[in-house]
A and B are shown apart, each in its own frame.
Chain A
Amino acid sequence: MVKPTKLFWKAGKHVLRYLRGTSGYGLWYRQEDEVKLCGFMDADWAGSPIDRKSTSGGVFSIRSTTISWYSSKQISVALSSAEAEYMAASLAACEAIWMRKILVGLFGSYL
């Protein structure tokens, strides 16, 4: 941010072009019969060439529509891909438990 160059500016404008193509996108929550919470997670390993930290990702949906997602760099360096996956799995489990708690609170324990 201190000394932006032409190439950074170009990358920024590229994002605007992306927005131009996707500004009509959104999330469509259809009326459906059943509440079913479903989640997926993944991790890469040492995805950042600068500090070798890995990235955790996750996406949760109810029936067909996404309700929550994230992609965040892990705070410590995973020494193996298994370690990276465990960190990501733990994060996803927290998220799932929390969302389940809300659903059960609102709609009973049928999940």
Chain B
Amino acid sequence: MGWHIHQMDVKTVFLNGVIEEEVYIEQPEGFEIFSSESHVCRLKRALYGLKQAPRAWYTRIDIYFTRLGFSKSEADPNLYQIVVEGKLLIIVLYVDDLILTGDELLILSWKDDLTKEFEMKDLGLLHYFLGLEIWQCSDGLFVSQGKYALEILEKFNMHGCKPVDTPLPGGWRKEDATSAEEVDATVYRQLVGSLIIWSIHNLIYAMLLTSFHKLWLSQPSSSGRQASMYCVI
């Protein structure tokens, strides 16, 4: 049995960030203090919409992980790992989403610790992430975009269409297409937009590795860190 992948998210994530700059806001509507209407509020925490909110959050959680002994990957600043008594725990941070894998007991105990520090929701095993469906079974892991593909087909009333083997018809030339009869630009753009998102998701398979969010699921062999990785999303 390999490792499982768990997911947690942080509630109202940006409110956790501590801001260092002096920022004032007007008193929020409905919460004005009577007879001191001219006063303003000084922010201690970041708010959504503040330029420094994402950075303030990252700094906060980075300090937290570092203080507790996690080491941050040199190759990716959102990848953290810790080894406790020979057992490995890997955490991938994606703004408010945390993805955890490694030793099952370590995962559970760290989930507790994280919940004490931040207000969090435990989503259990990872099923859905950035548009990808993820099935975890005993002998491996399957990643697909089937649900999203079917949604697009429904949207354009094509769920009953005849499938083809290639994404572009043979002999298709842009030059010929340009001179043909025009169609409704709005619907056409909707279609292109949906397909772009689909292909971005597609790329996310790749980006999970090649960009800021990636995850390695491994199965440690009996010789400890001679880990045999069996899976990468």
CB distance from B198 to the nearest CB of A (A): 7
Asked, given contacts A12-B191, A21-B163, whether A6 binds B168 with beta carbons under 8 Å apart, the answer is no
The contact of B179 among A5, A19, A32, A102, by CB within 8 Å, is: A5
Query: What size tier do the contact residues of chain A reach?
Result: 35 or more
Which chain A residues lie closer than 8 Å to B230 at the CB level?
A: 29-32, 63
In whole angstroms, how far apart are the Cα atoms of A4 and B214 in the complex?
37
Chain A 2-28, CB within 8 Å of chain B: the 1/0 string? 111111111111111111111111111
Contact A31–B139 (Cβ < 8 Å): yes
In whole angstroms, how far apart are the Cα atoms of A70 and B230 in the complex?
22
A-B pairs with CB below 8 Å: how many?
A: 192
In whole angstroms, how far apart are the Cα atoms of A106 and B3 in the complex?
14
Give the number of chain B interface residues (Cβ < 8 Å). 69
Asked, given contacts A102-B75, A105-B81, whether A9 binds B231 with beta carbons under 8 Å apart, the answer is no
Among B201-218, those with CB < 8 Å from A are 205-206, 209-210, 214, 216-218
CB distance from A14 to the nearest CB of B (A): 5
Among A16-57, those with CB < 8 Å from B are 16-35
Which chain A residues lie closer than 8 Å to B139 at the CB level?
A: 30-31
Q: Does B31 contact A (CB under 8 A)?
A: no
Contact A107–B143 (Cβ < 8 Å): no
**Chain A residues proximal to chain B, CB less than 8 Å:** 1-35, 60, 62-63, 65-70, 95, 98-99, 101-103, 105-108, 110
